[in-house]
Chains A and B, each alone.
Chain A
Amino acid sequence: MHYQIVRYILGMVMKVEAVLLLLPFLAGLVYREPQAFSFLIMAIVSAVAAFAMTFKKPAKFVFYPREAIVSVSLSWILISIVGALPFVINGDIPSFTNALFETISGFTTTGASILEDVEALSHASLFWRSFTHWIGGMGVIVFMLAIVPMTGGYNAQLMRAESPGPTFGKLVPKVKESAKILYLIYFGMTLVQIVLLLIAKMPLFDALCMTFGSAGTGGFGVRNTSAADYTMLQQAILTIFMILFGVNFNAYYYLYLGKDKKQAFEMEEVRWYLIIIAISTMLIAVNVRSYFSSAFEAFHHAFFQVGSIITTTGYSTVDFDVWPTLSKGILVLLMFIGACAGSTGGGLKVSRVIILWKSVRQQVSQYLHPKSVSVIKVDSHTQEKSVVTGVLVYFALYAFLFVGSMFVLMLDGRQDLLTDFTAVTATFNNIGPGLAGVGPAKNFNALSVLSKYTLMFDMLAGRLELYPMLMLFVPSVWKKH
């Protein structure tokens, strides 16, 4: 482990965060809130710390996968701690554990909250809470790669550690350019959503925060009722954009900037993603028809909830905890599937589910024809054996961590099994609300401190695709070269 490199990269990330912390400060100034200054203080503190960390450049700028992976996971932990302190300083969330939970939930675009009363928060804090979604959605490191000049061939390893999906493909040869393109698309779509929400007469502050929440597929709202207070048109805009942000960004690249627009429609993952959304919406709409006055309304809310859950956003327009078991069951299944690889969403990712499904099919046919040879194809590309194995092992690890976390939560003895199960589901897949004790109308405050830290780990592990967080616990990683 080259500690110098790690220190330098962490410093760079801190610099970026120092600048970002100025935004909630400005938002607070507009509302003339004293809480705003806590963000200014932290901005200055982290700027000073960042300059101290990057003052001395590492002697050698070579790094290997382990440095990249550790830098990424430590960056996420660091920005979460720094991002949590303003809440503690300004008294909006006095407990550090709670503030950290809220911030990690923000950066990992989970949207699970410990707040009883969201509306009691200052505008500055609300803004920061939602803004962490936006940053975390595409990734801090990706952001850093796009703006900070870093040369050397190892940037790809940094970006890979932060990018969701079973395989990592660059859009263009250079990492910096790839990162820029991603943020360009991200920024453009965010802007369009804000404008549309404003046209639909949503107040500016709500429009900004709700857009950050849906762009990063996070789920922090600014009202106690999440998205229920908004008009049907506003909710419909949110639904559409949540689903759009859950699409693999490569599709947008092909569509807007690529030479061959057809490629965008030939992506198997996106196709399945839309098919799953359509089928789930239909099933739930029929199932919950009796809860609403009209079929259209049932469809509207089913569509919103499906879009919100599969993209792992976690906004809600109704308390789906009171829905029939079938509907709740579908929603929980969607939580596991998650959005597309290369999007801002979490979960297992549709592409992994496709590969898992095809592996199962392959195995079954292997039993029928023991000597048969077959390959797994996605997008008519043969998937390397290593990719398929990678997905299978990922799934196994995912299951282990899931069961382990659930076990820790059960130690509390305060919640029922469904609450434990969905609390882990909702945080591990970066969704937000679960069912029962952590349902859309409830929050995570009642859990014990141990459970909260477990869920924080789950959120980070889920966002960074398990391995980077796991690496921190491998002793040999920390050995000096």
Chain B
Amino acid sequence: MRVIVIGGGKVGQTIIRHLSTEGHDVAVIDTDSSVITDITDNYDVMGVVGNGASYSVQKEAGIEDANLVIAVTDSDELNLLCCLFARKAGGCNTIARVRNPLYSSEIRYIKEELGLSMTINPEYAAALEIARLIRVPSAIKIETFARGRVEMLQVVIPQNSVLDGCSLMNISSKVGVNVLVCAVERGGDVIIPNGQFVLRQGDTISIVADPSRQRHFFTKIGINYHRISNTLIIGGGTIAYYLAKELIAAHIDVKIIERDEHRCEELAELLPEAVVINADATDQDMLMEEGLDSCESFVTLTGIDEENIFLSLFAQQKNPNAKIITKTNKIAIDSIIGRLNLGSMIHPKDITAEYILRYVRAMQNTIGSNVETLYNIVEHKAEALEFNIQADAPVIGIPLSELKTRDDVLIACIFRSGKIIQPNGQSRIQEGDKVIVVTTKKGFGDIKDILA
């Protein structure tokens, strides 16, 4: 597919990295020539220096043949303008990053009038992600498939858990819940396990389990499972606003600590149900006074990465039972941060890139392949793909135990006429099924690619 990315910032670069390794023809437009040099040095893409909203610049990047234009510059207006022109010039699909809440509230109208295929609001997307984490405690991360009907949870096996030393074959008998372990992350490597695989404490496992039995599963393996009823948010920016709205709707009490008095007033007006506190969050006494040691969840959303990290560490020390979520914008060295016990990490830009990539892949699938949606899991080291099974697929009717799949592939879930089937060796895939496959190999385009 031919894709033009306008804006070579962090989001743009993440998108470019993924699209170019997946073999798309990518052109990137940015006004800063050093950004373009940097990108073209590192990725096999074409770079054009110029204003992305200019027709001649778009033409140089090959707008006439483009299938998709993704506008992710800093400016909402420029993004919308780029997409509008691109749509007129090339008749291609367009994606714009629009973050101003004013536009967001009218996004449906804007999308329709400008013919946009998708808009993304990074702050809103991040807020949704955080809200989901707070609603499902204990799990580090949660992904949904099949339009939210299947959930994949990522948890770390705690010390002295029954799962420590347990092989996957015995897992169901040991915990009394039918769970499927799709991927195991151990020491930075991601493994797609088979039945003989033995789990250890400290492994991060991605599991698919029946939602109604999740609570039982967590208790059994030694993770505290209870519903969170309040949250303490540090920093009252846009993400905090969206997050508070989501949480309030889910009947979770929200307290926001914000430094700027003027912003506090705004928030108090917008969120009458929330408690808004005007204070500097680096003031430890104040934090204790506001219940740092007793809150059930703690989210750091200030604009300074270092401050977020230190506040989370402090919270972890004072209140080890709370669910802690740390947002960072720039610092994304997961291998170091992973050791710091900061709870769940949120990178808004990665989330934005991921949402866009999901759309791109889904779009590509309408051209030739059968992947319905694609999810990056376990820090991009593995993928979960949702396939539509067509009549001629070579996997139909064969019991899964006899299906010769690649080693790095696992069939996580079969979705048949509205029902979720947890696959076992006797399960057979039928025409019209949706099948979710987990793999560490990238670039699958069809269900037949999973075969060895």
Contacts and interface: CB of A to CB of B under 8 A. Distances in A.
B46 A65 contact: no
A65 B41 contact: yes
A151 B20 CA distance: 10
Which 7 A-B residue pairings sit nearest by Cβ, starting from the closest?
A: A153-B43, A173-B25, A173-B46, A153-B44, A170-B46, A175-B44, A153-B42
A339 B186 CA distance: 58
A422 to B, nearest CB: 38
A152 interface: yes
B44 A152 contact: yes
Contacts of B21: 151, 153
Interface in B202-238: none
B141 to A, nearest CB: 28
Contacts of A153: 20-21, 42-45
B42 to A, nearest CB: 5
A172 interface: yes
22 contacts: A151-B21, A153-B21, A153-B42, A153-B44, A153-B45, A154-B44, A156-B40, A156-B41, A157-B41, A170-B40, A173-B2, A173-B25, A173-B26, A173-B27, A173-B44, A173-B46, A173-B62, A174-B25, A175-B44, A177-B25, A259-B64, A260-B59
A364 to B, nearest CB: 26
Interface residues of A, number: 18
Q: Which of B21, B26, B27, B45 has the most A CB atoms < 10 Å from its CB?
A: B45
B192 to A, nearest CB: 22
B45 A173 contact: yes
Contact of B33 (A152, A155, A170, A384): A384
Interface of B: 2, 20-21, 25-27, 33, 40-46, 59, 62, 64
Contacts of B64: 259
Contacts of A156: 40-41, 44
Contacts of A386: 33
B40 A172 contact: no
Interface in A404-454: none
Contacts of A152: 44
A384 B36 CA distance: 12
Contacts of B26: 173
A156 B28 CA distance: 15
Contacts of A65: 41
A182 to B, nearest CB: 15
Nearest to A260: B59
A402 to B, nearest CB: 29
Q: Which of B40, B44, B62 has the most CB of A within 10 A?
A: B44
A37 B27 CA distance: 48
B290 to A, nearest CB: 48
A155 B44 contact: yes
Contact of A172 (B20, B43, B46): B46
Contacts of B43: 153
Contacts of A170: 40, 46
Interface string A147-171: 0000111111100000000000010
A90 B168 CA distance: 68
Nearest to B37: A386
A174 B41 contact: no
Nearest to B33: A384
Contacts of B27: 173
B33 A174 contact: no
A156 B40 CA distance: 8
A388 B59 CA distance: 25
Contacts of B44: 152-156, 173-175
Nearest to A384: B33
A314 B45 CA distance: 37
A170 B28 CA distance: 12
A172 B25 contact: yes
Contacts of B62: 172-173
Given A152-B44, A154-B42, A173-B27, 13 more contacts: A151-B21, A153-B21, A153-B44, A153-B45, A157-B41, A172-B25, A172-B62, A173-B26, A173-B62, A174-B25, A175-B44, A177-B25, A384-B33
